[in-house]
Chain A
């Protein structure tokens, strides 16, 4: 990567980098066997329509698997992260961590510079 593009952060995948989808993927990340539609809806605080729309985006990207079955007579939708989804989300977290690390260092730098100035002999 060139020095000029240091802050390009191409790894921040737009599919994940959206508040609702970030919530969905984070919820699914901790549940290897996946989550039911209503559990996911409650965890993410989304409406049926919104959750459906975001799940569709994630499914089209190949990051989420949606299985529709029947529990007795009631339809049941189960959502889980695919292996590809886990890998890509993990890579996304790496970049996000780097962004935050650089932000944290940048914020501390003025303090260090000021401290150096204060201790500099006249």
Chain B
């Protein structure tokens, strides 16, 4: 029955189209605010124990990689639960669509970090600025499924990435604030934007 099979395919297409035009409500403002807190705590820890957590570029970055994994875990776990509550039957499609938007940026950040750790540790100082640029691009890429004001967050991370690359390039050294300040402010603003969008009439 080719007509029936074609109709089933068309339904899948309608669902994908619908997911693309629907705002993904899986990102919880509280979870995003927690990642801002995590950035502040990591900055404070590195400032308090620089000889352990920021004595070398490798230690500095490893501390932030642990913080990033924790942040992704918190936001991701909450997003899975929340999107099922908010999107019902559309949840799986919405999650897949969001992953397709964001996962390439995460993968690029991880791969570049891995390659630099392995073959060019002398230029690891580029990573914080580079990661911030990737977060900016992820923010812009998610615009179709996020509140429009998220563009400001993309712009913030873009500027921060540029400034951090310039600063780190001049000194070839990384300070806790180079990651902490951009992420603490950026994530706090993102949480505020998500909160305000959730309050708006649907």
Contact = CB atoms under 8 A, between A and B. Distances in A.
B139 to A, nearest CB: 17
A38 to B, nearest CB: 19
Interface stretch (B3-11, B26-34, B99-107, B154-162): B3-11
Given A82-B202, A87-B89, A104-B1, A30 B21 contact: yes
Interface size class of B (residues with CB under 8 A): 20 to 34
B90 A30 contact: no
Given A101-B8, A103-B1, A93 B15 contact: yes
A81 to B, nearest CB: 8
Given A30-B18, A83-B202, A97 B88 contact: no
Q: Which secondary structure dominates where chain B touches chain A?
A: helix
Interface residues of A, number: 23
Given A93-B11, A93-B15, A100 B4 contact: yes
A93 B89 contact: yes
Contact of B18 (A33, A90, A107): A90
A94 interface: yes
18 contacts: A26-B14, A29-B17, A30-B14, A30-B20, A30-B21, A31-B21, A32-B20, A32-B22, A83-B202, A86-B22, A87-B87, A90-B18, A93-B11, A93-B15, A100-B4, A100-B8, A101-B8, A107-B4
